[in-house]
A and B are shown apart, each in its own frame.
Chain A
Amino acid sequence: MTEAATALKTTPLHALHVELGARMVPFAGYDMPVQYPLGILKEHQHTREKAGLFDVSHMGQVRLTGDDPAAALETLVPGDIKGLAQGRMRYTLFLNEQGGILDDLMVTNAGDHLFLVVNAACKEQDVAHLREKLAGKAEVELLDDLALMALQGPAAASVMARFVPEAATMKFMSYLSATFNGVPVILTRSGYTGEDGYEISCDKADAEAIARALLGEAEVEAIGLGARDSLRLEAGLCLYGHDIDTTTTPVEAALEWTLPKRRRAEGGFPGYAIIHRQLTEGASRRRVGIQPEGRQPARDHTEIQDASGTRIGEITSGGFGPTAGAPVAMGYVDTANSAIDTPLALIVRGKPLPARVAATPFVPQRYYRG
């Protein structure tokens, strides 16, 4: 083992991944399973057809408490947190003063606190950011004694109901405190695949037993980070550090739906002036879905040209969509070239690959709306 490998952190399911024959790779400082013996393509298809279990324990789980943690958090994100009903969750963004995205996150109103799930690579800086900006207004606790798993796919609900019957009627983007085989879990009906499913937060010590119980169900296979990436790309979901980062605003990233009317009118979040202006006047570039013609994938950092050969942007996520049965991508283009069906050329190994701007998601989302 190399020195770099010994410095990697592990999740509570690490031994299980190795036992299952996973290929482990470094990801955000953790030794994580990129794929199991099934392989990325079949893992992807299995998740779309039945159910997949993902270890996402590397992600940051954060508890925010205080007199009014929702009001405090609204000073850092553009989402409607005050209006979030108890037991409901929402996707939002940490912004910097330029309106750039510091991280994307899920916020749940858990009654006596807010429960945040943030990206693995950003969690230390997110916690530092929260502690600095919300000093005196909210207490911030990184819950690093917890594990996090995701059960995703059309069979996720029937599988979960065998252990947590009340999970079956949970609505998309809701939260439930429950018991799974006698141990406490927090379930949210959410995920990162475009499929119905749950994220399961539990004590680290209970994670392996829960994972083994779920993998013991006929419909469930262990799924690695490789398929997690192709699943989210087909679903049109952004990957932080690729599709969104500190240089992209929510307007440029086509995430206007995260900017509710009240916050657009009132402001009170970082970068408001820039974002307000972009909402009114438009931004110069926009994140779009991109459909290459033929079967050749175009990867991130691929140059995008317009019909006349002028550079107009870059791909930020690209690969092969196993369910789409075709290459799929997303990236930024000049706003003038962002309309659906606009012809593009992707410069792959020096040659122009014809493509067009496409609607996302590339495969229909199948969330449970009740």
Chain B
Amino acid sequence: MTVKYTKDHEWVRVEGDVGTVGVTDFAQSQLGDVVFVELPEAGRKLEQGKEAAVVESVKAASDVYAPVSGTVLEANQALVDDPAMVNSAAETDGWFFKLTLSDLSQLDALMDEAAYKAFVEESH
């Protein structure tokens, strides 16, 4: 199992060719209280770096980008019902969707946990 991070503050946890995607704890702290999420439907093809989901806090709407390309397997219905899970469990139960990766080599260019931590510290 590998967990990788993007500069847009998404994480993807990969087992085999299936990735689970969410936003990082740092991202949720910046978003503030989340009141709504819009998640991609199963079967939708996502392209790396393109819009995949929307998260709305009390303050503003933000796009969530696909950290890797692939086909959506499942969206997290529990998150739709309780969007505040983005704040309380960003990197666990607050996952957004699962997808089948179409190009595993895309993972190589993403950051590991240590690199992401350093990225957050130096940019904020």
A33 at the interface (CB under 8 A from B): no
Please report the C-alpha to C-alpha distance between residue A44 and residue B33 in the assembled complex, in whole angstroms: 11
- Mask, A27-64, CB within 8 Å of B = 1, is 00000001100011110100000000000000000000
B58 touches A296 (CB 8 A): no
Chain A interface residue bracket vs B: 10 to 19
B25 at the interface (CB under 8 A from A): no
Please report the C-alpha to C-alpha distance between residue A226 and residue B58 in the assembled complex, in whole angstroms: 8
In the complex, what residues of A have CB within 8 A of residue B60's CB? 299
Min C-beta distance of B53 to chain A, whole Å: 11
B42 at the interface (CB under 8 A from A): no
Interface hub of A42, A296, A299 (most chain B Cβ within 10 A): A296
B35 at the interface (CB under 8 A from A): yes
- Specify the chain B residue showing the minimal Cβ separation from A348: B61
B35 touches A297 (CB 8 A): yes
- Specify the chain B residue showing the minimal Cβ separation from A44: B58
A295 touches B35 (CB 8 A): yes
- Specify the chain A residue showing the minimal Cβ separation from B80: A295
A320 at the interface (CB under 8 A from B): yes
Min C-beta distance of B10 to chain A, whole Å: 19
B36 touches A41 (CB 8 A): no
12 A-B pairs (CB sep. < 8 Å): A41-B33, A41-B58, A226-B32, A226-B59, A295-B83, A297-B36, A297-B61, A299-B60, A299-B61, A319-B58, A319-B59, A327-B36
Min C-beta distance of A1 to chain B, whole Å: 14
A349 at the interface (CB under 8 A from B): yes
- Specify the chain B residue showing the minimal Cβ separation from A35: B32
In the complex, what residues of B have CB within 8 A of residue A41's CB? 32-33, 35, 58
Please report the C-alpha to C-alpha distance between residue A320 and residue B33 in the assembled complex, in whole angstroms: 10
With A226-B58, A322-B58 known as contacts, the answer to whether A296 contacts B36 (CB < 8 A) is yes
B38 at the interface (CB under 8 A from A): yes
Min C-beta distance of A154 to chain B, whole Å: 21
A230 at the interface (CB under 8 A from B): yes
Min C-beta distance of A63 to chain B, whole Å: 35
In the complex, what residues of A have CB within 8 A of residue B27's CB? none
B47 at the interface (CB under 8 A from A): no
- Identify B58's interface contact among A295, A320, A349, CB under 8 A: A320
Interface hub of B32, B33, B60 (most chain A Cβ within 10 A): B33
- Specify the chain A residue showing the minimal Cβ separation from B38: A296
Please report the C-alpha to C-alpha distance between residue A71 and residue B58 in the assembled complex, in whole angstroms: 43
Interface hub of B35, B36, B60, B83 (most chain A Cβ within 10 A): B35
- Mask, A237-274, CB within 8 Å of B = 1, is 00000000000000000000000000000000000000
B3 at the interface (CB under 8 A from A): no
A349 touches B54 (CB 8 A): yes
In the complex, what residues of B have CB within 8 A of residue A349's CB? 38, 54
* Contacting residues of chain B (44-99) with chain A, CB-CB under 8 angstroms: 54, 56-61, 83
In the complex, what residues of A have CB within 8 A of residue B56's CB? 296-297, 320
Min C-beta distance of A21 to chain B, whole Å: 12
Interface hub of B36, B54, B59, B83 (most chain A Cβ within 10 A): B59
In the complex, what residues of B have CB within 8 A of residue A299's CB? 60-61
Please report the C-alpha to C-alpha distance between residue A40 and residue B83 in the assembled complex, in whole angstroms: 15
In the complex, what residues of A have CB within 8 A of residue B35's CB? 41, 295, 297, 320, 327
Given contacts A226-B58, A296-B56, A320-B35, 7 further A-B pairs with CB under 8 A are A34-B59, A39-B32, A40-B32, A40-B33, A299-B61, A320-B58, A322-B58
